[in-house]
Amino acid sequence: MNFETVMQELEVLGKERMKKMYMSNGAHEPLWGVATGAMKPMVKTIKINQPLAEELYATGNYDAMYFAGVIADPNAMTELDYDRWMDAAYFYMLSDYVVAVTLSESNIAQQVADKWIASGEELRMSAGWSCYCWLLGSRKDVEFSESKMSDMLDLVENTIHDSPERTKSAMNNFVYTVGTSYLPLHEKAVETAKAIGVVEIKKDNKKSSFINAGENIEKMVDKGKIGFKRRHVRC
């Protein structure tokens, strides 16, 4: 399948209901509203194709950009490539669920995510924290420095309530993910979640939402799922 064929197929798969849902979360035209599950047959046909992924991502079309992340070759992309993709990620569903997910399957994931967390830019910070969530939720505990993860929990505790809105959400999710998927710091994550308490996420033209990492960790404890790891990050 080439670029034109993929774009035509995505347009056919678009649904108005999904388009409205994506737009309510921050997507804007151009997009068709393709459900992620509907993309799977094309993914099986194409598998990994970095040149095609680059063409699709450059369109600015949300559905094409999402599909680009699924067929991208994470280790073929350099730090500059990931920065370029982040520059075009105009809302959190791209930064956290396309760019961060793709980055999490690369060998340079932690170094790029660390730089983004320190950037001071809302979506880059959000993507950096989200990347660690994808990493911790899928890779073995031994791949992470316990002292580094501990320092990151401290950083969240000290700065979350003063951080940008999308960054708050990703930081809260980081605490939850450490508590759920990274056994060496489960107890510390529980204590961090208690110290943070309820986090308010303010939204444009919508009511605030309130999130609580501690409650969600507790639910996973009750289900006996502490230590949970995903087999795959990308669909």
For the chain, 235 residues long, give each residue's pLDDT as a single digit of tens: 899 999 999 999 999 999 999 999 999 999 999 999 999 999 999 999 999 999 999 999 999 999 999 999 999 999 999 999 999 999 999 999 999 999 999 999 999 999 999 999 999 999 999 999 999 999 999 999 999 999 999 999 999 999 999 999 999 999 999 999 999 999 999 999 999 999 999 988 789 999 999 999 999 999 999 999 998 888 6
Query: Which pair of structure tokens corresponds to residue 225?
Result: 């799922």
Query: Which pair of structure tokens corresponds to residue 26?
Result: 């921050």
| pLDDT given at position 204 | 82
Q: Rounded to the nearest 5°, which phi and psi values hold at 190? A: -60, -45
| pLDDT given at position 203 | 87
DSSP H or E stretch at residue 209: strand 206-211
| pLDDT given at position 59 | 98
Instruction: For residue 144, give every residue at least 6 positions away whose Cβ sits within 8 Å of its Cβ, in sequence order, or none.
Output: 135, 136, 182
30 by DSSP, 3-state: which? coil
How far apart (Å, rounded) are the C-alpha atoms in residues 50 and 44?
Answer: 15
The model carries a pTM of 0.95
Contact 219, 177 (CB under 8 A): no
First-to-final CA distance of the chain: 19
| pLDDT given at position 188 | 98
Sign of CA dihedral 44, 50, 52, 55: positive
| pLDDT given at position 232 | 82
